[in-house]
Amino acid sequence: MQKLANKLAGWLKEQLTRTGAKGFVVGLSGGIDSSVTVALCRRACPDGTLGLIMPCYSNPNDQKDAELVSATLGVPAEVVVLDDVFELMVQKVTGRPYQNVRDIPVANIKARLRMITLYYYAARRQFLVAGTNNRSEIVMGYFTKYGDGGVDLLPIANLLKLQVRELARVLGIPEGIITKAPSAGLWAEQDDEKEMGVTYDELDCCILNGEGCDRVKQVVMDFSSKSVHKMQLPLMPPF
């Protein structure tokens, strides 16, 4: 895992050289994926890595965890509270106040507002936006198109969730963040595994070895087939 961390950091350095960018900006959610991503970026560019913490009707504990990661790794972080702009946007498009319940079209606005914020900070500093999606999420299409999927590069895109956990320990991520229940935090008490209908252990085993019960295989197949459009450029007519 130490060799993998160095290899990924080396790849990130290459991207800076290739693009002429001066560093990286990473959205810190308080979860393991963003923690590992910002740690890799810091290893690649110690003086040019910025974390952005963007609460948006979020669990306050997530901000505390993100701040813990920032302090532990020595990565500067800024907090941009998006509650007001999100509330206004929801009011404008739905005609009613925001309700913190499962409503995917509304919840995706959060992810897209965060994407806008990341690119503002990146453009100001000539940084690249480093995304935090792992291979397990990408296979399932478990991300928001033009939200957390709207990034310049994906350092951990080839790593399954189980590999991200292993890498996190090498990188010094606090244990409480490694073991916390994965959640995108798009509505109250959201739980990734309940939302997908499979655990990450089941998902990773299916992706890695093709193993799992028929239910798990069907869930993975359904999610993957419905999210193909997220992995493609916009469609154009062939003439």
For the chain, the domains span: 2-188
Instruction: Tell me the pTM.
Output: 0.94
Which residues have a Cβ under 8 Å from the Cβ of 46 and sit 6 or more positions away?
none
Q: How far apart are CA 105 and CA 173, in angstroms?
A: 32
* Residue 47 near residue 12 (C-beta atoms within 8 A): no
Question: CA distances (Å), 80 to each of 41, 87, 114, 227, in order?
Answer: 20, 15, 9, 30
Who wins on pLDDT, 209 or 121? 121
Q: How far apart are the first and last CA of the chain?
A: 48
Q: What pLDDT sits at residue 233?
A: 86
Residues annotated catalytic, as ranges: 33, 137
Q: What is the mean pLDDT of residues 129-143?
A: 95
Summarised one tens digit per residue, pLDDT across range 42-56 is 999 999 999 999 999
The per-residue pLDDT for range 66-123, each reduced to its tens digit, is: 999 999 999 999 999 999 999 999 999 999 999 888 899 999 999 999 999 999 999 9
Which pLDDT value is given to residue 183?
A: 85
Look at the domain 2-188 and name its fold.
Answer: Rossmann fold (3.40.50)
pLDDT in the model for residue 189: 80
